[in-house]
Amino acid sequence: MVAIKEVAYEVDGRRMVGTLAAPEGGGDHPAVLIGHEGPGLDKFQKGRAAKLAELGYVAFALDYHGGGERIDDRQAMMERLTELSEDLDRLRAIGMAGLEVLLNDRRANPSRLAAIGYCYGGTVALELARMGQDLKSVVGFHPGLGTSRPEDASNITGKVLICVGADDPIVVAEERLAFEEEMRAGNVDWTMVIFGRTEHSFTHPFVDRAAIPGLKYNASSDTKAWKLMLDLFDETLGVP
């Protein structure tokens, strides 16, 4: 059985509302922080936390917009993400606030910690790693790879896995190459898996409803990427 609850917390001058999911009862469990896609924390995002809890992890799906709600206006969403990208300390503080909520749960083992993220949520996860947080593994699904402080890659201590589509018009080949150079310079243990015939947001079953060119769900790539993540967790966090 899984226990799920909403958790409100303050950061960035906003009341954030994330979703915490964990196996019922006590115990000592590996912990996973989850960063949502650019539009916001929706039911599907919250379901990812529940899915991980069913597997034996304590998982917290953080909120980086406020109110635990989506930003449905695409222009407003892009403005919010641009603001955060232009102030890296602000972005990192938002990520840290979510991480603190996760680690404040008594069932979460701080020595068995991972962060994953989808789209811009992957950026949040990677910035926590670049800060030197004790993350055993970091996984980005079609994540924003750029950073204004690539030299901070030398602070990354855990293993990094990036899953991206070959036909992603947002995470383009040039950005992937720059990330590779960053990881090499930082001497990071990293892996990038590029899925053929796969576009951006390939992990979200409802993305096709937006009818935005370049965004398309791919069930096969989604399944494979999730398995790669779980294999990495088995290696870095141990069996839940």
Cα separation, 150 vs 236, in Å, equals 24
**Residue 45 pLDDT > 90, yes or no?**
no
- Across the range 96-119, mean pLDDT stands at 98
Give burial (CB, 10 Å; 0-12/13-18/19+) of 89.
exposed
pLDDT digits (tens, 9 = 90+) for 22-31: 999 888 999 9
pLDDT digits (tens, 9 = 90+) for 220-237: 999 999 999 999 999 999
What is the chain's Cα-based Rg? 16
Cα separation, 199 vs 172, in Å, equals 10
| pLDDT for 78 | 97
How is domain 2-236 classified at the CATH fold level? Answer: Rossmann fold (3.40.50)
Cα separation, 233 vs 240, in Å, equals 9
> For the whole model, what pTM was predicted?
0.98
> Domain locations in the chain?
2-236
| pLDDT for 166 | 98
| pLDDT for 226 | 98
| pLDDT for 201 | 98
Cα separation, 1 vs 56, in Å, equals 10
